Amino acid sequence: MHYHHIKKSDNHSIHIVQLGIGLIGNCISDKISRLKGEHCEEITKVKIDWFDTDSILNQLKLLERSIDLNYKEDKIHIIWSAGKAGFSSDEKECNQEYLVFKKVIDFFNSSFCKACTQKFMYLFSSAGGLFEGEYVDNKHKTPKPKRPYGFLKLNQENYLIAKVNSFEKVYILRPSSVFSSNIFFKRLGIIGVLVSNGILNQVTKIYGKESTIRDYILAEDIAAFVVDLIENGNKEYDDPIFLISTEPVSIYRLKTIIENIIDKPLLFQYLNFTNSENIFYHPNIKPSSLHTTPLIESIKITKENFLKGQFLS
C-alpha cells in the first residue's frame, strides 16, 4: 500500500491511497511522485499481505486516524489495483480475493476518513477478463466472462457500483493487455517477457496461437491517464472506462516486430491453447483523453530500458 499526501496552495490537501503496487500501481505511484509546481508530495509505503484482511484493515485504520487528526475538508482518492489472481487463477483463489475486496470496500463505505469531504474510488477491472473471445464495439456491451478471473472482476465491479452513493465519484477502469516499458520485476505482460527473453536468448512459453489477436497498452500511459483524473477530474466518465490502445496485433506480428527491434530471433514454445481467443476493441470506446504510445515506439523504449538495466546491474 502507498499513501501520498499532496499539499496544495489553498491550504487544502489531496490524499491518495493505493492498494496494490504491481505493474500498474508502480507506474501510478511513480507518476504521482513526479507532480510539480505547487505540489509538495509525501509518501508512505506499507507492505501488505493480501490474504490477511485484518492486517489490511488495521493499516487503513492507522492511516485514517492520522488523516482525521491532521487534516479537514480535503479530498481522498482510493485506487484499487490489488490482488494476486491472474487470468489463469482457479475459482478458489478468485473467491478468496473477492472476499478480501468486499471487506475493504465495506470499510471504505463506512465513515472512513471523516476529515475528507470528498471520496473518489478507482477500481482496476479487466477488459480481457470480461470479454474473452469478444470484439467489443460498444462500452455498454454486457460482459461475458468465461473463467473465474473474469467473474471475479465482474463481481468486484458490481459490488462497488452497489456502494456508489458512498463516494463522490466511482471510476471503473478496464485495461486491455498491460505491459511496462520500465518495470521488469513485477508481472511483466507478454511484451516485457518477449523483449527480455529475446535479449537473454531464453525461451518464452506461449499459451495461445500465432493468430491470437490482442490489444496491448503501456502501464505508463494508464498511469498518466489516472493521475490526470485525480488532478482534473472528468464528470463525463459515468460508464466503465476502457483503457486500450486500439492497435490490435497477432502473436505472429508481435513476434516479427520484436525480432526486428532487438535484431534477434525469439525462441517460442507453444504449450497449449488455453489463452488463444481473440480480444479486441472498436476505437470509438477509447477515451479521448487517453493518450497511448504507438506499439512499435513502446517496444523500442522497452528494449532500451531493459538494456540499461542489464548494463547497470
Is the pLDDT assigned to residue 52 strictly greater than 90? no
Q: What is the pLDDT of residue 38?
A: 54
Per-residue pLDDT, averaged over 18-23, amounts to: 92
For residues 169-208, b (16+ Cβ closer than 10 Å) or e, as one string? bbbbbbbbbbbbbbbbebebbbbbbbbbbbbeeeebebeb
282/276 Cα distance (integer angstroms): 20
* pLDDT winner (highest mean) among 33-37, 186-190, 281-285: 281-285
**What is the set of domains in the chain, with CATH numbers?**
2-180+215-247+286-292 (3.40.50.720)
For residues 63 and 135, the model is more confident at 135
CA–CA dist 190, 205 (Å, integer): 10
Residue 101 has pLDDT above 90, yes or no: yes
pLDDT category of residue 313 using cuts at 50, 70 and 90: very low
Average pLDDT, the chain: 89
What is the pTM assigned to this prediction? 0.94
Residue 203 has pLDDT above 90, yes or no: yes
What's the grid cell of residue 310?
A: 542489464
